Amino acid sequence: MENLELQKIANEVRKGIITSVHSAKAGHPGGSLSAADIFTYLYFEEMKVDPKNPHMDERDRFVLSKGHTAPGLYAALALKGYFPVEDLVTLRKLGSYLQGHPDMKLVPGVDMSSGSLGQGVSTAVGMALGAKLMGKDFRVYTLLGDGEIQEGQVWEAAMLAGHRHLDNLVFIVDNNGLQIDGRVEDVCSPYPIDKKFEAFNFHAINVDGHDYDEIRKAFQEARATKGIPTVIIAHTIKGKGVSFMENEASWHGVAPNDEQYEAAMAELERIGEGL
Amino acid sequence: MSGKNPSEVRKVATREGYGSMLVELGAKYPNMVVLDADLAAATKTGMFGKVYPERHINCGIAEANMVGVAAGLASMGMIPFISSFAMFVAGRAYEQVRNSIGYPHLNVKIGASHAGITVGEDGATHQCNEDIALMRTIPGMVVMCPADEVEAKAAVKAAIEYEGPVYMRFGRAACPVINDRPDYRFEMGKGTIVREGSDVTLIATGICVGGALEAAEKLAEEGISAEVINICTIKPLDEELVIASAKKTGRVVTAEEHSIIGGLGSAVCDTLCKNYPVPVHKIGVEDRYGISASAAVLVEKFGLDGAGIYKSVKEFVERTEEK
């Protein structure tokens, strides 16, 4: 798929995020918007998946370890055709299958329930290990937050992944630099992220997480890397695409009000028209 | 046990039954994998590892990750058994068990060894008296605590035949084998009357079943007829059996190598409060930590052996007679 196509889809993903979080009056727009290009690349370019057959045995797996950015995942899944885009407005509402954090039992296309930080990565390691044990050649992807990697369990998981040479596994760190309480380096610095993963026997790649040439190259490099898992550190902008949300930690877990919703959607419309 | 000279009774730790049944099941279930966290010798999963090294995954000393890895494996149709000491898999990794296994209701079997005070000399930090309480609160989690090696093997077999998360509690110390008889049958979710009686019901789990039988023997000598029920499956509890026996005897004593808060005693009280309230006395570890000593010394000190259970039941019966 051409970069332009991916950019157009990502812009629709961002609209889905704003629409669903506004409708829910709660949710996490900042980290969903920063990861929108990653979600788009994974579902529309990288992964072998079939929305008509979400449980296909040989499908690639994705675990959203930073589960609070479910609005981004849901929007990408809806646009891919797993469920109607119209359902996004039911996010977080009583009776909706679109729970605040992803539920594998309810949402078509969700391979693992997640939300408690640090836990998704371990399940992704289990899937990659299982593929090796069963002689299957599918690949496993998991998306983490840069705040999330403060969780010790992430490093337990990384240690086992490196030890077991899981080259069918890709960690992606959405390095938008902000967590709820502020800048990650002020709260409890996870840096240097690449060196840490390299010490855990990963191949580490730094990319601009909004540049599809760089994203494409990184995922290709991950496929070509044998004998060790890969981590892609995606340098992103929290709130990307909605100017008043960009680089503002306060937009981590707050929904836009009606006025802000209108402004955000208008801005995304303009971006879309410009593509 | 009655009729047998105590010295003739075979003594084996329930964790041995776990290890040997894993090996047996490995042949029948090619999709079964066994995970450990650097305690394979102690939890007895090493027995499986010797026969099926490629299906034995040592996760290192990282229980939280092991739980998640098992969830990932189960999501692909494999059947993981994960093991560590009860303190670490039910305690340390509680939230991982709840959110990564319990919430998606994944088919993971947890074999927790070294539960309770019979860990012995290692002392309080390793003596988990809270695991039944913790695991019982997770929706959809089956909780089993076998009374001996025979029941341990039966419980492990039942666990793999069941689709869904199961927590199994095993002990470190050798304990008498009381179920080694041809007519022994095991069914998950069903308790067993191991001795009939009419004056008081003793409901016991794990190593306390043997103690309860001993106590019943002594009580009989004094004209107190105690019914003894072995509850291996604490969740879901065999409510029908518990209620029927309470109706028959009018008073209940529970006995477990676990805190009196949240374990078998609490499960029995939950059921009786709702359905047929009768006086209940809970024998277990009071609201306190364990201490270092040999398993045998601790069982006696905490009043969980035959003599201790006898004493508590006798007092309870006398107390309730006065009313």
B40-52 per-position pLDDT tens digit: 999 999 999 999 9
DSSP, collapsed to helix, strand or coil, labels residue B228 as strand
Scanning A140-179 for CB atoms below 8 A from B yields: 152-153, 156-157, 159-160, 163
Cα separation, A185 vs A247, in Å, equals 14
Shortest alpha-carbon distance between residue A106 and chain B (Å): 10
Give whole-number Cα distances, A180 to A21, A30, A208, B33, B233, in Å. Answer: 17, 10, 22, 39, 43
Subunit contact A115:B60, Cβ cutoff 8 A: no
Interface probe with B: pick from A55, A122, A151, most Cβ of B within 10 Å? A122
Tell me the per-residue pLDDT of A25-75, one tens digit each, with 9 for 90 and over: 999 999 999 999 999 999 999 999 999 999 999 999 999 999 999 999 999
ipTM (interface pTM): 0.97
Report whether pLDDT(A171) > 60: yes
Average pLDDT estimate for B25-41: 97
Cα separation, A21 vs A30, in Å, equals 11
Q: Which of B63, B239, B256, B257 is catalytic?
A: B63
Neighbours of B182 (CB within 10 A): 4
State what percent of residues in chain B have pLDDT above 90.
96
Scanning B34-93 for CB atoms below 8 A from A yields: 54-55, 57, 59-60, 62, 64-76, 78, 80
DSSP characters over B250-295: S-EEEEEEEETTTSHHHHHHHHHHHH----EEEEEE-SS---SS-H
Mean pLDDT of chain A: 98
Subunit contact B76:A115, Cβ cutoff 8 A: no
**pLDDT number for residue A36:** 98
Neighbours of A67 (CB within 10 A): 27
Specify burial of residue A120 (Cβ count, 10 A radius: 0-12, 13-18, 19+).
buried
Interface probe with B: pick from A149, A153, A169, most Cβ of B within 10 Å? A153
Report whether pLDDT(B2) > 50: no
Window from A78-82, A215-219, B1-5 with minimum mean pLDDT: B1-5
State what percent of residues in chain A have pLDDT above 70.
100
**pLDDT number for residue B5:** 63
* Residue B4 pLDDT grade (very low, low, confident, very high; cuts 50, 70, 90): low
Closest residue in B to A157 (Cα–Cα): B65
Subunit contact A116:B95, Cβ cutoff 8 A: yes
Q: Which stretches of chain B are assigned E, i.e. beta strand?
A: 11-12, 32-36, 56-58, 79-85, 109-113, 142-144, 166-169, 175-176, 192-195, 200-204, 226-230, 233-235, 252-259, 280-285
Mean pLDDT of chain B: 96
Average pLDDT estimate for B106-128: 97
* Residue B8 pLDDT grade (very low, low, confident, very high; cuts 50, 70, 90): confident
Cα separation, B101 vs B104, in Å, equals 6
**pLDDT number for residue B9:** 85
Subunit contact A118:B64, Cβ cutoff 8 A: yes
Average pLDDT estimate for A149-173: 98
**pLDDT number for residue B1:** 43
Whether B63 is catalytic is yes
Window from A230-239, B176-185, B189-198, B216-225 with minimum mean pLDDT: B176-185
CB-nearest partner of B60 from A122, A127, A159: A159
Give whole-number Cα distances, A158 to A123, A188, B35, in Å. Answer: 11, 19, 17
DSSP, collapsed to helix, strand or coil, labels residue A239 as coil
What is the reported pTM?
0.96
Using a CB-CB distance cutoff of 8 angstroms, which residues of chain A are in contact with residue B74? 126
CB-nearest partner of A160 from B55, B60, B105: B60
* Residue B322 pLDDT grade (very low, low, confident, very high; cuts 50, 70, 90): low
CB pairs under 8 A between A and B: 103
Shortest alpha-carbon distance between residue A201 and chain B (Å): 16
Cα separation, A132 vs A201, in Å, equals 18
Cα separation, A190 vs A70, in Å, equals 23
Exposure of A195 in the CB half-sphere (CA atoms within 13 A): 3
Subunit contact B68:A163, Cβ cutoff 8 A: no
Tell me the per-residue pLDDT of B140-152, one tens digit each, with 9 for 90 and over: 999 999 999 999 9
Average pLDDT estimate for B42-64: 98
DSSP, collapsed to helix, strand or coil, labels residue B142 as strand
State what percent of residues in chain A have pLDDT above 90.
100
A152 backbone φψ class: left, alpha, beta (φ>0; ψ -120 to 50): alpha
Neighbours of B28 (CB within 10 A): 9
Specify burial of residue A270 (Cβ count, 10 A radius: 0-12, 13-18, 19+).
exposed
Q: List, in order, residues 6 or more apart from A12 with CB less than 8 Å away.
A: A75, A79, A272
Exposure of B5 in the CB half-sphere (CA atoms within 13 A): 2
Tell me the per-residue pLDDT of B285-311, one tens digit each, with 9 for 90 and over: 999 999 999 999 999 999 999 999 999
